[in-house]
Amino acid sequence: MPAISDIMTRDPRTAAAGDTLQSVASAMESGNFGSMPVLDGGRFVGVVTDRDIAVRAVAQGLPADTPVSEVMTAKPVCVAGDCDLAEAARLMKDEQIRRLYVTDGDSLVGVAALADVVAAAGERLSGETIEGISRN
């Protein structure tokens, strides 16, 4: 079974903890993606999603210049690069998540999306696992 490092997106676009909601939302729009890992001094500290911006920030009336660190999801689910795809799929199913963050210590090395994991390991995964992660 391949490892997550074989399929992950390396060097994903990231936001700094002090970047504003507006600048991150703009980057998401121009890059056509819905989440960005957040770094603080090179350390991976969280993830901000378009939902975080819409639900946590806009719904609370936070100004556009609010740092993303105020609405990000801290401590996202992470795995090491040698995590096999079956384990990654099980983790995604159990945690009800669509992305896994691949780290080496406090450093982000990549991101693996649910679609990538299923495409790479689909035939090796049990029907129950695929069904469970498809419901996310």
pLDDT at 125: 57
**CA atoms of 132 and 126, how far apart (whole Å):** 10
Report residues of the chain scoring pLDDT below 50: 128, 130, 136
pLDDT at 115: 85
Predicted model pTM: 0.85
- 4-134 CATH choice from 3.10.580.10, 3.40.50.2300, 1.20.140.10, 2.60.120.10: 3.10.580.10
Q: Please tell me the total number of residues recorded for the chain in this structure.
A: 136
pLDDT at 135: 54
Dihedral of CA atoms 27, 30, 35, 36 in degrees, nearest 10, equals -40
Amino acid letter, 100? L
